[in-house]
Amino acid sequence: MEVSVLTVRLNFTYNKLRKFVFLKFFLIILLSGCAFFPSGIYHRVQKGETLWRISRVYEVDLDEIARINHLADATRIKTGQLIFVPGAKERKDTLAYSGRSISPRSRKKERAKPPPELIDFSWPLKGKILVGFGKRSGKRHQGVDIEGREGTPIVAIYDGIVTYSNNKLRGYGNMVIIKHNEDYSSVYAHNRINLVREGERVKKRQAIAQVGATGWADVPHVHFEIRERGKAVNPVFYLP
């Protein structure tokens, strides 16, 4: 009789221990899942959006969005694609988002100087990208090289003032630099000829030069850069 009671007690203790271990294991798995799947929302890509613009609107690091969505190339997102934005609590319309609120007193001033998020750049030239942004033969390539037929018009990516139009910088050949506002400027190099002068105001999509192979260029193309507050950034993140 005592042996039977002892056996029952041991079985009861074993069952309790097994349930405890199972519960503990379940909680570990659950908490691990929470660590691997952060909170956030899914954003559906709209026509004309870039991953850079999405990251700016939601105030989430671009590289983090690319990593969590397994995007090997952050420039290759398609209209209608669902992008998970970690940490975001509500969906936002990036195309209508200004990036900051505007008080009535400062509204007139803000129209004259739109915040970076409102600037919709266009491509300077349609063509194949020969060399991308980043390291190239051990050196940093500050922009992208876009292939084009010699003499093809190169257009301004946005309104601005020409701050440089010359061929005095070694290796770049004929080059144009446009200042768009206090935040952004753009560079166009190896041009056959420049069509604008320093100090001239230009409009978005206005022809400013022709494709060429001046300077250290082997084939006709435009070396194109976007600079944000003086720092070269990957242009394809900023273009539609």
**Reduced to 3 states, what is the DSSP secondary structure of residue 43?**
strand
Residue 93 identity (one-letter amino acid):
D
DSSP state of 236: G
What pLDDT is stored for residue 49 in this prediction?
A: 83
What pLDDT is stored for residue 40 in this prediction?
A: 87
The token duo for 136 is 């190239």
Element (H, E) at 136: strand 134-136
What pLDDT is stored for residue 199 in this prediction?
A: 96
Euclidean distance between CA atoms 88 and 68, whole angstroms: 13
List the alpha helices (DSSP H) in the chain.
2-36, 51-58, 62-68, 107-112
Domains and CATH numbers, the chain: 40-116 (3.10.350.10), 121-237 (2.70.70.10)
User: Average pLDDT of each block of 10 consecutive residues along the chain (240 residues)?
Assistant: 52 60 60 60 86 85 85 79 88 65 37 54 94 79 94 97 95 96 94 98 98 96 94 87
